[in-house]
Structure 1
Amino acid sequence: MKKLVAAVLTGVLVAGTLSTGVYAKDDDKTITVAASATPHAEILEEAKPILEKEGYDLEVTVFDDYVRPNEVVESGEFDANYFQHIPYLDQFNEEKGTHLVNAGGIHYEPFGIYPGTKDSLDDLEDGDSIAVPNDTTNEARALLLLQDNGIITLKDGAGLNATVKDIAENPHNVEIVELEAAQVARVTGETAYVVLNGNYALEAGFSVGKDALAYEKSDSEAAKTYVNVIAVKEGNENSDKIKALVDVLKSDEIKDFINEKYDGAVIPFDDSADTEKADAEETDSKDTDSKDEAKEDTAEENAETTEAAEDAE
């Protein structure tokens, strides 16, 4: 867990805030949000006119660190923040004693498999090498992506703590080359493929949408885990204005904006599959209950019929 925390905190910026002049207001029609500049504040700016039509005034303040946005939501100075994924949120609560909760998942920034010396995963051959980041969190995401594409199989339960030691099956005997995350993109001329997270892919000149041979889907374990969320103080997640904010950020208009602007480096998180699954499970449960009740009714009727017959005798 400590390794996961260390990895999560690796990308944390430690400078002060750019602006701290906005405070949460009693006005139920004003929504104050603390956010990182890219892509979070940009997405929120796009949501402003939509919320305005619904009667809400969205005020966005950009912070350049990952601590103050949580502190100002905990203190009540801001209604919400938008900058972090769930593992960071959970660890912050644990370390700081805060009471922040996820009010809705909005987007994720996917890992992708990119061309090295080969341009298609169909060209994978025995003994090919694949470069991956070597830090705990990013290596696990890379290995899970390779598993999702049938290249390797991990041990049951390895999940987001997976390392190369957790590879259970390697049918092509691929060589996993572990490198510091910033170095992976530099070996495209030496390895068959490289696995990169969004920011390093962009820095390397890759377009996630055009160049990735495969990338994390919204129903993948990593996407669900590292989805960037709207965070609020516990108890406020069901307020009308927070629901309005989340609904707009998950709307088709905002999804279209994200897809067009970020070219796959940022992807709208779609939790409809989970919702449909939950609905299906609930329906199955209700059907089972109905069948059980029907069986009980039939049994009671049979018992009554038998009893009546015995009485007649």
Structure 2
Amino acid sequence: MKKNILRTCALTAALVLGLTACGSSGNTQTTAADTKSAAATESGETTASQEEVTVRIGLTGTIYEDIWNPIAEELKDEGINIELVQFSDFSLPNAALDSGEIEMNAFQHHAYFNNEVETKGYDISAIGDTFVIAMNLYSDKITDVSELKDGDTIAIPGDASNGGRALKLLESAGIIDIKEDAGANPEISDIEKYNVQVEFVEADASNIYSMLPDVTAAVINGNYALDCGLDPQEDGIFFEKDYDDDSYFCLIAVRSEDKDNPVYKRIVEAFQSESTKQIFQDVFKGFFVPAWE
């Protein structure tokens, strides 16, 4: 297992810098409404626009830039300029989208998205699925879940959807049993039985990697694990494998008023391509799986 990775990853500083630099001035920046006439033929297919438009897309991890940069290069020839905006944690991109600070975001799965819309009232819509990236269990102290013992600590995300997903992972690992009526996003209070009497430490998903030296094990979202240099195959001690529905399929979101915008549909089309699938295989060792098929 890798032990010499810098724990901080310089992640927060880099992402905050990306956030403060997200604005763009001048005539090349357009509003979401301006883009609606940017690209459409009589057949309804998008095509290159005579007037350039800029679309700001919110992300939560530099690893996503390996996917989006080739797409941005391709769409530049069609007059669509993509500006990638990095945010420091999951709580920010939906608020920024809803308020108009960005035009799209691509960082969350359906479970998280649905919870955000329901609890915060955002008027945003999903317009295309992207990929599934597994949430795995990592440790600096043990190499197999069978080594866990009573009193050991496990860090999990503190938000409802990712925390529930983490508990489901730990149930599949045989560590806990969850009540049958717990629903899609179980909480710690929904644990029916501890097969190992572990203690949970809840934290923001973006901070859990840095906690690895202080806990026995940690459930880490795949984007943060990869962004910090973890190899899911070499460093993980238990892996998420099965998906019963699209709850953990990641997606591209826009404001609801813009869900039929032809430029945004063209961006989704460019993402859902054979070229992107090849990036998943070459850059992420197949760890990212297309969710649009």
What TM-score, normalized to structure 2? 0.64
* Aligned CA distance change for structure 1 residues 151 and 239 (closer, same or farther; 3 Å): same
Amino acid at match of 1:270: A
> For 1:176-195, what aligned pairs fall within 5 Å after superposition?
176-181=198-203, 182=208, 184-187=211-214, 191=216, 193-195=217-219
* Aligned CA distance change for structure 1 residues 270 and 207 (closer, same or farther; 3 Å): same
- Considering only aligned residues, what root-mean-square deviation do their CA atoms show, in Å? 4.0
Q: Partners in 2 of 1:240 and 1:203 — Cα distance?
A: 32
> Are 2:106 and 1:106 equivalent residues in the alignment?
no
Alignment-derived partner of residue 280 in structure 1: none
Amino acid at match of 2:288: I
| C-alpha contact (below 8 Å) 1:130/1:175 kept by paired residues | no
* Aligned CA distance change for structure 1 residues 157 and 149 (closer, same or farther; 3 Å): same
| C-alpha contact (below 8 Å) 1:34/1:60 kept by paired residues | yes
Q: C-alpha deviations, 1:37-60, integer Å up to 9, x for none?
A: 5244442221135456xx734311
Structure 2 gaps, min length 5: 1-11, 40-47
One of 19, 25, 28 as aligned partner of 2:23: 19
Alignment-derived partner of residue 260 in structure 1: 282
> Are 2:86 and 1:82 equivalent residues in the alignment?
no
Q: Partners in 1 of 2:117 and 2:148 — Cα distance?
A: 46
Alignment-derived partner of residue 8 in structure 1: none
Question: How far is the alpha carbon of 1:218 from its aligned partner?
Answer: 6.8
Q: Partners in 1 of 2:165 and 2:132 — Cα distance?
A: 13
* Aligned CA distance change for structure 1 residues 205 and 13 (closer, same or farther; 3 Å): closer
| C-alpha contact (below 8 Å) 1:134/1:180 kept by paired residues | yes
Greater share of helix residues, 1 or 2?
A: 1
Question: How far is the alpha carbon of 1:91 from its aligned partner?
Answer: 6.2
Larger radius of gyration: 1
> For 1:64-83, what aligned pairs fall within 5 Å after superposition?
64=87, 66=93, 67-72=95-100, 78=103, 80-83=104-107
Amino acid at match of 1:248: A
Alignment-derived partner of residue 154 in structure 2: 131
Amino acid at match of 1:144: K
Amino acid at match of 1:247: E
Q: C-alpha deviations, 1:50-93, integer Å up to 9, x for none?
A: 456xx7343112334633344338xxx84x44344446655665
Alignment-derived partner of residue 212 in structure 1: 236
Partner secondary structure for residue 213 of structure 2: helix
Partner secondary structure for residue 143 of structure 2: coil
Aligned residues: 247
Report the identity percentage. Answer: 23
Alignment-derived partner of residue 275 in structure 1: none
Q: Partners in 1 of 2:119 and 2:226 — Cα distance?
A: 32
Structure 1 gaps, min length 5: 1-10, 273-313
What TM-score, normalized to structure 1? 0.61
* Aligned CA distance change for structure 1 residues 200 and 228 (closer, same or farther; 3 Å): closer
* Aligned CA distance change for structure 1 residues 70 and 61 (closer, same or farther; 3 Å): farther
Amino acid at match of 2:191: I
Q: Partners in 1 of 2:159 and 2:119 — Cα distance?
A: 20
One of 60, 70, 80 as aligned partner of 1:58: 80
| C-alpha contact (below 8 Å) 1:185/1:194 kept by paired residues | yes
Q: Partners in 1 of 2:118 and 2:276 — Cα distance?
A: 32
One of 182, 185, 188 as aligned partner of 1:164: 188
Q: Partners in 1 of 2:248 and 2:128 — Cα distance?
A: 12
Alignment-derived partner of residue 152 in structure 1: 176
Q: C-alpha deviations, 1:179-237, integer Å up to 9, x for none?
A: 2433641246xx3x43223366457753224322333347256xx43544222233643
> Are 2:169 and 1:174 equivalent residues in the alignment?
no
Question: How far is the alpha carbon of 1:34 from its aligned partner?
Answer: 1.6
| C-alpha contact (below 8 Å) 1:104/1:246 kept by paired residues | yes
